[in-house]
Amino acid sequence: MSADLLIEVRGLVTRFGSHVVHDGLDLEVRRGEVLGIVGGSGSGKSVLVNSIIGLLEPAAGEVFFGGRPRSKFTAHETLALERRWGVLFQYGALFSALTVRENVMAPMREHLSMGRALMEELADLKISLAGLGPEAAGKLPSELSGGMRKRAALARSLALDPDILFLDEPTAGLDPIAAGKFDTLIGQLSQTLDLTVVMITHDLDTLHTICDRVAVIAEKRVIANAPLEELVHNPHPWIQEYFGGPRGRAALRSAGGQ
């Protein structure tokens, strides 16, 4: 295994009843990169991430972390592994009855042993890192705008100081200005905290702005995984339609591409 490979997915098969979502899917995630994952509706992007983090058990194949198969991890090692990542689900999945601060503290309560005062102090730090002001800490999710809820969910994903972030459609539902600011924030956090980011997105601007490589899911597998400037020349029909259409060309032009 190359030293820069953090996560490897080999021969992944996932199915629901007779419906096969992935059939022999392979994927590599490099340490420190921002990897975008794209694919058509129903291609299994979220299913792939859920399989990587263990929320779904694949029918076949294996997920490797640091060269070791996850299926061989002991219970203690699995718990330690889970503390290494943070997850931002597509709709935030915040606890509606808890304040922002309490939402951020929830993973700390589950995994750490420390006093409430210290947890509150750490939670407020994560809230600040996610770009929210101190006044947001005591608010409920229903009192926040869509962009603020995304940032609150991001703060919770940072609660345990992860080195891997999994983001599912982080800019979905945001206006272009808010989405652009969120992209900038993710890029800054990736650099300053030395994070590896795996991001499901349909946002072409996001792909052009912060992703080092883009993995394309089609035909039940990853058909390409490359920097965007290489990917746009891939002759596969789905890739050409996705990146060569009017919106794809406009995003490429705005990013300074050809």
> Tens of pLDDT along 222-236?
999 999 989 988 999
Of 135, 136, 104, 98, the residue nearest 121 (C-alpha): 104
How far apart (Å, rounded) are the C-alpha atoms in residues 2 and 30?
9
Identify the band that residue 248 occupies on the pLDDT scale cut at 50, 70 and 90: low
* pLDDT score recorded for residue 217: 97
CB-based contact 86:158 (threshold 8 Å): yes
pLDDT at 131 over 70: yes
Q: In what order do the strands lie in the sheet with 60-65?
A: 19-30, 5-16, 60-65, 68-69
CB-based contact 100:137 (threshold 8 Å): yes
Identify the band that residue 146 occupies on the pLDDT scale cut at 50, 70 and 90: confident
- 105 versus 252: the higher-pLDDT residue is 105
Q: Which two tokens stand for residue 238?
A: 């789905």
> Domains in the chain and their CATH numbers?
34-50+78-254 (3.40.50.300)
Between strands 164-168 and 5-16, the pairing is unpaired
Mean pLDDT in residue range 49-61: 94
How far apart (Å, rounded) are the C-alpha atoms in residues 61 and 51?
10
> Tens of pLDDT along 97-118?
999 999 999 999 888 888 999 9
Mean pLDDT in residue range 58-84: 92
CB-based contact 72:13 (threshold 8 Å): no
* pLDDT score recorded for residue 258: 44
pLDDT at 168 over 60: yes
Q: Which two tokens stand for residue 42?
A: 């129903």
* 66 Cβ neighbours under 8 A, 6+ residues apart: 6
* pLDDT score recorded for residue 113: 84
How far apart (Å, rounded) are the C-alpha atoms in residues 142 and 139?
8
Identify the band that residue 39 occupies on the pLDDT scale cut at 50, 70 and 90: very high
> Tens of pLDDT along 172-220?
888 888 889 899 999 999 999 999 999 999 888 889 889 999 999 999 9
pLDDT above 90: percentage of residues in the chain = 70
